[in-house]
Amino acid sequence: MAARVEGSAAAPQEQPRDAPPSADLPPARSTLVVRERLVRVLRGADEIPLRIVVAPAGYGKTTVLRQWAEHDPRPFAWVTADHDHDDPVGLLVEIVRALAEIRPGGDEALTELMASPPTSATAVLPRLARALADPDRPFALVLDEVEALERPETIETLGLLSERLPAGSVLALASRSESGLPLGRFRVHQRIVELRSRDLAMTRGEARAMLSTAGLRLDGEQLDTLVRRTEGWPAGLYLAALALREQDDVAAAIARFSGDDRLVADYLRDELLSRLLPAEAAFLMRISPLEELSGPLCDAVLHEGGSGATLRDLARSSLPLSPLDRSDQRFRCHGLLAEMLRAELRRVEPEREAEVHHRASEWYDEHGDADRAIEHALAAGDEARAGELIWSVVPSYVAYGRSAAVTRWLERFTGEQLAHHPELALAAAAVHMTHGERDHVEHWAQIANARLDDVPADRRGDLEAGVAIMHAAVVRDGIAQMRADAARASALEPQESPWRALCCLLEGSADVFSGNPEAGLKRLEEGARRGAICAPSTQVVCLALLALAALMEDEWEDGARLAELARAQVERVGLREYVTCTLVFAASALARAHRGRGEEARRDVRDARRLLTRHGDCTPFFEGAATLALARAELRLGDPTSARTLLAECERSARESPDAVALRAWLEDAWNRADAFVEDAIAGPSSLTTAELRVLGLLPTHLPFRAIAAELHVSANTVKTQAHALYRKLDASSRSEAVAHATRLGLLDGG
């Protein structure tokens, strides 16, 4: 065992053991970055006696300790451990020698201990404690490379020593692996300061400074990329500097930099893997394709047991294998090490990587983690399995506004691959459906339909339902066929499927717009109930349609309540950017405008119009209904010009859906309101027409507008238009308020 001694202003000058061993390295101190944040932590409070610095090779443990020594007024005694002195007595003797060097003029007790070395730690510890007991002469004792000390009695001696330090003195232990000290008691009593890999990882500023001293100047994006790739590992950053500083295209070189770079790979082999048993190194190589490591997963991938214990032991060794939980069940290997191990696996066992991914996909699928199951199927290159898994999650992902994740998966396939697998083609159709892109939906649905004969019978029903849903969504053959397609899909889907809620939406809207509101509203209510459980993106559209149907019938209270429910759910689930929520914002805008909540209504109008610009060529009557609601809202907000522009846009949707009779009726009513707006706004009660006075006379009867229309032998839309003209001229916002104002003005009999 060698002892190195340093004072507060002089640190050992030789290159630290955890610096990258390369002939290209300049002198060690020319590349040092003073890491002030870590020095401040190590200086800490004087009453904390123990400092622990644990990290794999290359994290600059020794360097940080030296910097601490240079900035701390206490004298430092430095001991570097090795395996030859892994016994309590030998360790204490070496500590005595180091401490004797920093006591000015020597110390009788220490000199006596050195003159007659003890035969047991039990004998020397009390004498050493007495020798060091002077509180006016605090010191710091650093034991570096503590991983060399493995015997339990040696570790126990370190613990006893830390408890016998005089006030103001500290013991610092630096190690590549866990020392085995019982640290729990120190933590409970707040008598320990700990630095680990995550603390020693370089910050962005530290990385920039270190790379600059190594001759590498990077812009902000390049620096961020390199810090992310190395995870702040100091040795990795420095090796990257060596690999990159001679490159003509630094940006491209950074993009290529990984753990299989020769400089990095050599360092990892020499400093990390060489310390492992051959079986441990082989274990790590064979599980390297896995991002997250756990005992059960590794057992399944390797077809053998005991992986959990192996992972736990390796995580406590000198490897950069980090636990992801507090129970040592899940781990993650440092990215550069994993990349190096994967490169080695491809060289040694090229067929195993795909097999690992395939088994991992099966394991994650069995354990309900669809995302990872899909990722591993894609990594394995198994198109068919990936397609089946992706299609299995499409209903729930679309329902919860997660279609972007499906898009990312689909982007990893070519167009030919998508067309070859009906599941992938249908997944593409579903994503386009969420963006309202009818042509694309129809294209991929037709491709999927053409492939159904190649699908085994036990899987065909689910795909047939998907094709029917896509056909219903594009409404190419009219509203009646839309309803038939949705009903067929509903019959094929299991009760718990999120698609059932969508089928209710499609069937219900078909009924409402084709003039069968009673049946349609019931189906929409069912869709809202189903969607509340498993399909919020469908639920909110069902609620919005229910709200709009109520608002069009002047049922303002129910309409506003439903619109608020839909609006709140959009915010709660995070569906603001889902284009199918255009109708939610439009219905909310109309309800809020009617209630006089102008600023909130205008925000809803802006959100709806923003989404309309991204709507593609969606189902015309859905777009038309949203545009109509916005026009009505703009009219209520006092902007007839915007209202007329929107109504003109709605005309196009109405022409494209000639069987949407309800949309046409709502549009006609809206035009009547817009035409009367300016005249009504300036005329007041004195301009009431004879027809309006006839309607006014029947308002106190509480007859519905349909009954009033029958009484007067006119259409229900005419009565609604005249009633709203009355409201405006009487400055009323509801039927009851109009009656009250008219009574006060003497237009109605107060009795």
**Separation between Cα atoms, residue 143 and residue 149, nearest integer Å:** 10
pLDDT at 22: 39
Rounded to a whole number of angstroms, the CA Rg of the chain reads: 38
Domain extent for 718: 684-744
Residue 481 lies in a domain: no
- CATH code, domain with 658: 1.25.40.10
pLDDT tops 80 at residue 618: no
pLDDT band at 699 (very low <50, low <70, confident <90, very high): confident
- Check residue 641 and give left, alpha or beta (phi > 0: left; psi -120 to 50: alpha): alpha
With tokens 């696996």, the residue in question is 345
Question: Pick the residue with more confidence: 549 or 157?
Answer: 549
Among 128-132, 264-268, 403-407, 718-722, the least confident range: 128-132
pLDDT at 464: 95
pLDDT at 117: 59
Question: Pick the residue with more confidence: 157 or 393?
Answer: 393
Question: Pick the residue with more confidence: 29 or 701?
Answer: 701
Residue 247 lies in a domain: yes
Q: What angle do CA 117, 123, 128 make, to 5 degrees?
A: 75
pLDDT at 680: 52
pLDDT tops 90 at residue 190: no
pLDDT band at 145 (very low <50, low <70, confident <90, very high): very high
Mean pLDDT, range 184-207, rounded to an integer = 90
pLDDT at 725: 83
Residue 489 lies in a domain: no
**Separation between Cα atoms, residue 492 and residue 669, nearest integer Å:** 39
Identity at 97, one-letter amino acid code = R
Identity at 250, one-letter amino acid code = V
**Separation between Cα atoms, residue 7 and residue 205, nearest integer Å:** 29
pLDDT tops 50 at residue 579: yes
Question: The tokens of 445 are what?
Answer: 């649905």
**Separation between Cα atoms, residue 587 and residue 563, nearest integer Å:** 6
Judging by beta carbons within 10 Å of its beta carbon (0-12, 13-18, 19+), is residue 344 exposed, middle or buried?
buried
Among 533-542, 657-666, 737-746, the least confident range: 737-746
pLDDT tops 80 at residue 498: yes
pLDDT at 385: 96
pLDDT at 605: 95
pLDDT at 691: 82
Asked whether residue 565 falls in the same domain as residue 650, the answer is yes
Question: Other C-beta atoms within 10 Å of 467: how many?
Answer: 26
Question: Pick the residue with more confidence: 223 or 164?
Answer: 223
Q: Which ranges constitute the DSSP H helices of 3-79?
A: 36-43, 61-71
Asked whether residue 94 falls in the same domain as residue 150, the answer is yes
Domain boundary among 351, 381, 411: 381
pLDDT at 1: 39
Asked whether residue 377 falls in the same domain as residue 387, the answer is no
Task: Identify the three-state secondary structure at position 236.
Answer: helix
Helix 716-729 / helix 690-698 crossing angle, nearest 10 deg: 90
Asked whether residue 67 falls in the same domain as residue 124, the answer is yes
CA terminus-to-terminus distance, the chain: 111
Are 562 and 543 contacting, i.e. CB atoms less than 8 angstroms apart? Answer: yes
Question: The tokens of 437 are what?
Answer: 């892109």
pLDDT band at 9 (very low <50, low <70, confident <90, very high): very low
Are 310 and 287 contacting, i.e. CB atoms less than 8 angstroms apart? Answer: no
Are 142 and 76 contacting, i.e. CB atoms less than 8 angstroms apart? Answer: yes
Highest mean pLDDT: which of 13-22, 59-68, 726-735? 59-68
Question: Pick the residue with more confidence: 117 or 725?
Answer: 725
> What stretch of H or E contains 281?
helix 278-287
> What count of Cα atoms within 13 Å lies in the side-chain half-sphere of residue 62?
25
pLDDT tops 90 at residue 316: no
pLDDT at 13: 37
**Separation between Cα atoms, residue 120 and residue 36, nearest integer Å:** 40
pLDDT band at 580 (very low <50, low <70, confident <90, very high): confident
Asked whether residue 524 falls in the same domain as residue 653, the answer is yes
Domain boundary among 474, 507, 539: 474
Taking Cα atoms as reference points, which of 472, 522, 518 lies closest to residue 492? 472
Which strands make up the sheet holding 2-6, listed edge to edge?
Answer: 2-6, 76-80, 140-144, 170-175, 50-54, 192-195
Are 17 and 85 contacting, i.e. CB atoms less than 8 angstroms apart? Answer: no
Question: Other C-beta atoms within 10 Å of 617: how many?
Answer: 15
pLDDT tops 70 at residue 24: no
Identity at 365, one-letter amino acid code = D
Asked whether residue 193 falls in the same domain as residue 214, the answer is no
pLDDT tops 80 at residue 689: no
Mean pLDDT, range 717-732, rounded to an integer = 84
**How many residues are listed for the chain in this entry?**
751
pLDDT at 459: 86
74-127 tens-digit pLDDT? 999 999 998 877 888 888 888 888 888 887 544 565 666 666 655 666 667 777
Question: Other C-beta atoms within 10 Å of 727: how many?
Answer: 19
Mean pLDDT, range 153-167, rounded to an integer = 86
pLDDT tops 90 at residue 549: yes
**Separation between Cα atoms, residue 569 and residue 538, nearest integer Å:** 11
Asked whether residue 42 falls in the same domain as residue 108, the answer is yes
User: Maximum Cα–Cα distance for the chain, whole Å?
Assistant: 124
Asked whether residue 513 falls in the same domain as residue 454, the answer is no
- CATH code, domain with 694: 1.10.10.10
> What stretch of H or E contains 309?
helix 307-315
Mean pLDDT, range 561-590, rounded to an integer = 93
pLDDT at 479: 92
Residue 107 lies in a domain: yes
Q: What angle do CA 446, 448, 449 make, to 5 degrees?
A: 65
Question: The tokens of 546 are what?
Answer: 């229910």
Asked whether residue 17 falls in the same domain as residue 143, the answer is yes
* HEC letters along 145-212: CHHHCCCHHHHHHHHHHHHCCCCCCEEEEEECCCCCCCCHHHHHCCCEEEECHHHHCCCHHHHHHHHH
Question: The tokens of 485 are what?
Answer: 């397609």
Asked whether residue 93 falls in the same domain as residue 115, the answer is yes
Q: What angle do CA 464, 466, 470 make, to 5 degrees?
A: 120
Are 200 and 60 contacting, i.e. CB atoms less than 8 angstroms apart? Answer: yes
pLDDT tops 60 at residue 261: yes
Judging by beta carbons within 10 Å of its beta carbon (0-12, 13-18, 19+), is residue 366 exposed, middle or buried?
exposed
328-361 tens-digit pLDDT? 899 999 999 999 999 999 999 999 999 999 999 9
Which strands make up the sheet holding 293-294, listed edge to edge?
Answer: 293-294, 330-333, 321-323
pLDDT at 114: 61
pLDDT tops 50 at residue 565: yes
pLDDT at 115: 60
Q: How many domains does the chain have?
A: 6
Question: The tokens of 551 are what?
Answer: 């608002």
Question: Pick the residue with more confidence: 528 or 108?
Answer: 528
Residue 246 lies in a domain: yes
pLDDT at 3: 38
Question: The tokens of 122 are what?
Answer: 């039990």
pLDDT at 5: 35
pLDDT band at 30 (very low <50, low <70, confident <90, very high): very low
- CATH code, domain with 36: 3.40.50.300
Question: Pick the residue with more confidence: 411 or 23?
Answer: 411
pLDDT band at 698 (very low <50, low <70, confident <90, very high): confident
Question: Pick the residue with more confidence: 28 or 460?
Answer: 460
pLDDT at 120: 67
pLDDT band at 186 (very low <50, low <70, confident <90, very high): confident
Asked whether residue 174 falls in the same domain as residue 220, the answer is no
Mean pLDDT, the chain, as a whole number? 86
> What count of Cα atoms within 13 Å lies in the side-chain half-sphere of residue 424?
22
**Separation between Cα atoms, residue 296 and residue 305, nearest integer Å:** 8
Mean pLDDT, range 416-441, rounded to an integer = 93
Give the rounded percent of residues in the chain with a pLDDT score beyond 90. 53
Residue 679 lies in a domain: no
Asked whether residue 400 falls in the same domain as residue 452, the answer is yes
Residue 750 lies in a domain: no
**Separation between Cα atoms, residue 239 and residue 246, nearest integer Å:** 12
Q: Nearest 5°: phi and psi at 547? A: -65, -45
Residue 163 lies in a domain: yes
pLDDT at 406: 96
Domain boundary among 443, 474, 505: 474
Question: The tokens of 652 are what?
Answer: 């196009």
